[in-house]
Each structure stands twice: as C-alpha cells, then as structure tokens.
Structure 1
Amino acid sequence: MPISYFWSRAFLTSRWLLWLLLICNVLGTIYGYYWYALQLEYTLLHWPAWMVVFVPDSPTASLFFSIAIAFLIFPPRSRWLKGIRALFEALAVVTSVKYGVWAVTMIFWGAALGDTLIWQDWMLTASHLTMAIEALIYVRFFIFRHTTLVLALGWTLLNDYMDYSQGIYPWLTEQLVLRLNQVRNFTVALTLASALAGAWALWQAREERKWNS
C-alpha cells in the first residue's frame, strides 16, 4: 500500500476514521469544558451570564470541528443545512488553527519566562497541535467559501475583543499576565493568520480539485 493512500480522500473520509475523529473530538471537547469549569463558575459569579459563551475557547473550537466532522458523516441535503454546515466548517478551521497554536505558544512562552512544565502541559501541547493539524488536513473536504470564512473571522475577533476588553481571557500564569498587552496583540494577530491559513488551504483544495478533474 503506497504511503500516498493515507493522504487520499478514500482513507481520510472513510467512515470508520471519521467516526474515530468524531469520538475523540467529542471526548476532548467534554474534557476541555471540564478544564474550564472553575473559570466558567467564576465568570458566572462576576460577569453577566451571556459572557460565559466567550470563556471556553479551545473546547468550543473542538466542538465546531466535531460538528464539521458529523456533517461529513451525515451530509445534509437541504440548502439551509448546507449553509449551516459551511459556517461550522469555517468556524472549525479558523478557531482550531488559532487556539491550537495559541495554547502551545502560551505554554512554551510561560516556560521561557520561568514556569515549570508538567505532564499536563505536554498533554495539552499534543492535543492542541492535533487540533490545528486536523483542521488543515480536512479543509479539503469542507464546502465553506470565503463568505463564511469572513463570518468565522468576525466571530473569532469578537471573542478576542470580549476576552481582552472584559478580562475573560483564558487564565494565564503570573508571568504572562504581566505581559497581557503582548499576549493580546499576539492573539489578534494569530486570529488573522488563522483566517489567512484557512483561505490558503481553501485555495489549495480548489486547485487540487481542478487538477484532478
């Protein structure tokens, strides 16, 4: 079996692999929301309840990707469901790439400033890198277009605004809090870069389809 098979549509969209991805991402999403439990409780006590939507960044990205994979398993037929599918796919790509890279950067930035890495940091590094990689791998099978990509960018920028204007950003180590302006600037720049990565991957997928047609 040639190694190229593992990059093929037949392999990557096989139902057993899609179901495995869905189960792993759903479990990761559940764990991610559990990870944010204390911050969610703190936010509900000190801010309006509606702001809690903007608190759990990575698990929400994982939720978006889970929904996108579910749509690959069960493709919708109606036009409005296809529109919903496209929106969730765009959200999945932008947020998974953004928060996958963001979390890993924060972990090693903190370590460079003197924080001690523990086993959970390595687990989070592996899981968040996987988030970013799987989104870029599966973008070629998604149906979203640039319009929905812009909507996903808008949502993610709104999340950044809420995080850093209202102080509901993911809890950081003391060393990173002292550099909060730098963290904010990096976060916004990463949002824009993630949208550009999504647009590039979308263009690459179109070119591949043209080449194979």
Structure 2
Amino acid sequence: MNYLRLILKDRTFLILLWMINFFGTIYGYMWYEGQLANTPAKFLIFVPDSPTASLFFTIFLTFFIFGKNIPYIEALAIVTLFKYGVWAVVMNLFMLLVNGSLSWAGYMLIASHGAMAIQGLLYAPHYKIKIRHLVVAAVWTFHNDFIDYVYNMMPRYSSLDLYMNEIGYFTFWLSVFSVALAYYLTIRSRNQIDLS
C-alpha cells in the first residue's frame, strides 16, 4: 500500500496520467461529435458525460502536480469519474447481453472507463473535499441525470433504446451511490482520522 501511495505521488507518473487523461478527454469529446451536432446549445455541456468527468480529473492533476488543491473540481472529479466509468462499463456489458456480441470499441470502452472509475477513487486521500464541495458535485450530477432522462440527452446506445426507463432508474441510483461513496472516502474518512 505504501508503494502504491509513492507511485500515485510520483511526478513522472502524474505527468503520464495527466497526458492519458488529457488526450482521452479530447478523444471523448470527438466521440460525441455526431450527437453534439444535433444537440440544442443549452444542453451541450450536459451531453459528453465521460469526457467532462476526465476533464475534471485532468484539472485536478494539473493543480496536484504543483501541490495545490481545488476542492470543487476534486468533488466533481471523484463523483463523475466513478459514476460515468461504472455506467459505461455496465451499458457496454448490457449491450453484449442484448446483442450477443460487442465491437472492439465496446471492449475498449469497458477497459478505459473501468480505469477511469478506479483512478478517481485512488486519489481520494489527497482530496480536500468538504460538504459544500460535495453538495455542488451532487447538484451537478443529479441535474445532469434530469437533463439526460427528461430531455433525452443521454449518450446514444441505439440497441438499448427500449430500456431507457430502466437505464434512467439505474443511473439515478448510481448517482446516489457515487455521491455517498465520495463522502465515505473523503469527508467521513478524514473525520475518522481526525478523531483517532
């Protein structure tokens, strides 16, 4: 565990992780290009969920490399990285179940989004999140769910269109769990350490 902590704080590793997230974010926005072209301007910020989550983490890493903290971005990063990382993994596995097969891109998305979910959690001990920061992240996350499933701005998986109600229900509870997990790993854990 101490070895992992050293790696996570190693400057070379941090720069490599920053580059992976930076270019992954650009690729993610490009992946949404078709959907964004048909999205009303007022909803544009809420459509590319995963690349925006990795953008939050890239911003966190930029400051963390220089020994700075930005708690609002940290709260947005941990909640959205976990939520959309898990969401994409589950949706691609669901597509495999429904269609009986999955493209190479689907397996790539499972791997990259699984890693995305994990990386945000690994840095939890380094976040300086307080309740007010987590509240902002929660409002952003639930508002995004509202935009996605009330205004039909969710990421497009055409073969899953018949299951949008179920996916929306799953997504809501995934948001609840993501916020709760972020609280447990940051605010609650830090309070327990302070009391001991």
Normalising by structure 2, we get a TM-score of 0.94
Match for residue 165 of structure 1? 150
What's the CA shift for 1:146?
1.9
1:197 matched to 2:181? The reply is yes
Measure the CA separation in 1 of the matches of 2:31 and 2:168: 22
Does the residue aligned with 2:99 lie in a helix, a strand or coil?
coil
1:21 matched to 2:17? The reply is yes
Counting matched residue pairs gives 195
What's the CA shift for 1:205?
4.8
1:120 matched to 2:105? The reply is yes
Match for residue 136 of structure 1? 121
- List runs of 5+ in structure 1 lacking aligned partners: 77-81
1:7 matched to 2:7? The reply is no
- List runs of 5+ in structure 2 lacking aligned partners: none
Match of 1:145 among 119, 127, 130: 130
Paired letter, 2:51: P
What does 1:92-103 align with in structure 2 at a 5 Å threshold?
92-103=77-88
Compute the RMSD of aligned alpha carbons: 1.6
Measure the CA separation in 2 of the matches of 1:117 and 1:207: 44
Paired letter, 2:106: D
Measure the CA separation in 2 of the matches of 1:60 and 1:27: 12
Does the residue aligned with 2:157 lie in a helix, a strand or coil?
coil
Normalising by structure 1, we get a TM-score of 0.86
What's the CA shift for 1:144?
1.3
Structure exhibiting the larger radius of gyration computed from Cα positions: 1
- Deviation string for 1:55-90 (max 9, x for gaps)? 1000000000111111101234xxxxx5xx110000
> Percent identity over the alignment?
39
Match for residue 63 of structure 1? 55
Measure the CA separation in 2 of the matches of 1:7 and 1:141: 13
Match for residue 161 of structure 2? 177
Paired letter, 1:7: L
